[in-house]
Structure 1
């Protein structure tokens, strides 16, 4: 079988959640992950927007994702490694202009 992935995947089988909007998140299972993508399973994949935020519980990672394919209960998504962040490492300082 021909492999179309640009990077090998690592099986995770970890819990996570997908932020649908500011007020709602959906629990999911992160089946596997590569340097540029992730595969998640959830009951209603069709309600997840094309771009979403994925939180992986075990590693405390937050990933910005873009859906590349869907099934009824799975989503394959591309992640932008430059935008991946751990909550403890976020730079929340704002640049303040001198008065």
Structure 2
């Protein structure tokens, strides 16, 4: 399969939180399994319906990254970060 990403993703296991509606206090816990400055691979609990756009908080960050779903497979989604927000730093290791 040909790799189409512009930035390499680091394999991670970071706690994430997703806000599916802007301004909502409802937060869905998730796991960020791969991360780059441009996007992420995110695992959600089984049965969660992930919308096409949402705010993703990575690790302890209080600042969300607006994310757009590029692909879906079971409870995983691949996202790209939008709106010129500062994407989270990739943790080396």
Aligned-pair Cα RMSD in Å:
2.3
Q: How many residues align?
A: 86
Cα distance in 2, alignment partners of residues 19 and 28 from structure 1: 11
TM-score, normalising length: structure 1: 0.72
Segment drifting more, 40-49 vs 6-15: 40-49
Spell out structure 1 runs of 4+ moving beyond 4 A.
Answer: none
TM, length-normalised to structure 2: 0.77
Query: Quick one: distance in 2 between partners of 1:80 and 1:45?
Result: 25
Which is greater in Rg? 1
Q: Which has the higher contact order (CA 8 A, sep 6+)?
A: 2
Q: Tell me, which stretches of 5 or more residues in structure 1 are unaligned? A: 87-99
Higher helix share: 1
